[in-house]
Copies of this chain bind each other. A is one copy, B any other.
Amino acid sequence: MKIQKVDDLVSIKRSIETGTSEQLSIVKNILSDIRTRGDGALREYTEKFDRVQLASFFVTEEEIAEAYKKVDEGFVAIVREAAENIRSFHEKQLRPSWMTTEENGTILGQKITPLDSVGVYVPGGTAAYPSSVLMNVIPAKVAGVKRIVMVSPPDQEGKLPAAVLVAAKEAGVKEIYKVGGAQAIAALAYGTASITAVDKITGPGNIFVALAKREVFGDVDIDMIAGPSEIAVLADETARAEEIAADLLSQAEHDPRACSVLVTPSQQLADEVSLEVEKQLALLPRKEIAARSIADYGVIYVAENLDQAVETINVLAPEHLEIITENAMELLGKIRHAGAIFIGRYSSEPVGDYFAGPNHVLPTNGTARFSSPLNVDDFQKKSSVIVYSEKALRDNGAKIAAFARMEGLEAHARAVEMRLKN
């Protein structure tokens, strides 16, 4: 793994896949086709892309019961415990509506309301992760969203992966459809006879899904468009090279475009981790993927001191950050930009990927500068509440009218004054 000094070019930003104009035109056609022809078009695209004819897209209770029979019993128990941890963490994000009252009768407030409905996209094939189902569905459920719809492309037997169905059931999803791709996004955004439209769509997908989400944005809300996963480890000489190497590789095995970075003031740790990465890499089942990721995007940055290392982390704004240093907790206040922060050697990143409770849907590609992990706020919205009494308007009406006139908006001024004269 390559080692370099910290310089001005520190970055884990990668070019975001924005799709070709051909891909965009395919997606636009699919969207307009579903919009005009509904289920008929949905059925045709499912036949074309997923190579299966479906009488109904809806996943029945029988199919879910069957899924439970297919998975390991131990797995169900682990999913339940993970779901409970995720639920418990996200419940702490809930906020009440609030109001303030003044003696003149004014009441101001903020009313918090869950979205009516949310659609969760779950990719097919090897990217169908039950953990991702839990992480997308549970915050919506905790937020109070009444209708949560899951969509996922079926295999050629017209089935969804058993583990995904079990995770969906455990998370509380009652409406699952076997549709995928841009056609599923179109159905969620515009609705068809079998699938009623939703207000927001979350969840990862391939480039066609990502393009479709971008296109329907505005008609419905969407979550972020996630880039490849990334980790930055901030460590000093007290850290163990083999553990850091293992964590860097756990990121690298996701995707050849995943990015693993170590920032350390210790040249010795840098050298040791570099060797350890090569050693452990050779023994991994997904070593081809991990090797490409480490070669193309892996870097060990050697900083002059811990302060420079911390500032390097803030420039990187990584999706995942591990801090493995003496007195790691003391550094927390200096970290301004990171999606999730794992502190100490026992807080290996997979702890957060699956189980601890915080969300694993995190801002990538430097967007932790301005974005947050998926959370309950993403499934609620606020409304301002304004109650002015007669006294409040008498006290302030002339000022409000004057401000409006200053902006040349006479009808605004008159609307206020009319109440004062009446």
Q: Which residues of A contact B (CB under 8 A)?
A: 16, 72, 74-75, 78-79, 81-82, 89, 92-93, 95, 98, 100, 106-108, 110-111, 113, 115-116, 126, 129-131, 163, 199-200, 218, 220-221, 225, 240, 242-243, 246-247, 249-250, 252-254, 280, 284-286, 290, 329, 332, 335-359, 362-363, 365, 367-373, 375, 377, 381-390, 392-393, 396, 399-404, 406-416, 418-419, 422
Contact check, B129 vs A407: say whether CB atoms are below 8 A apart.
yes
Contact check, A340 vs B384: say whether CB atoms are below 8 A apart.
yes
Chain B residues closer than 8 Å to A359, beta-carbon distance:
384
Contact check, A250 vs B407: say whether CB atoms are below 8 A apart.
no
Contact check, A382 vs B372: say whether CB atoms are below 8 A apart.
yes
CB < 8 Å: which of B108, B246, B351, B416 contacts A400? B351
Contact check, B371 vs A221: say whether CB atoms are below 8 A apart.
yes
CB distance from A414 to the nearest CB of B (A): 6
Chain B residues closer than 8 Å to A392, beta-carbon distance:
346
Chain B residues closer than 8 Å to A129, beta-carbon distance:
407
Instruction: Name the residue of chain B whose CB is nearest to the CB of A78.
Output: B399
A-B contacts besides A126-B408, A342-B387, A350-B400, 9 pairs, CB < 8 Å: A108-B357, A111-B335, A240-B422, A340-B383, A346-B388, A347-B388, A350-B409, A355-B400, A355-B403
CA distance A163 to B406 in the complex (A): 9
Interface of A is mostly: mixed
Take A369-B116, A370-B220, A387-B329 as given contacts and tell me if A399 and B355 are in contact as well, using a CB distance cutoff of 8 Å: yes
Chain B residues closer than 8 Å to A116, beta-carbon distance:
336-337, 369
10 cross-chain CB contacts under 8 A: A16-B218, A221-B371, A242-B422, A246-B411, A246-B415, A286-B409, A329-B387, A346-B419, A353-B404, A355-B400
Contact check, A404 vs B354: say whether CB atoms are below 8 A apart.
yes
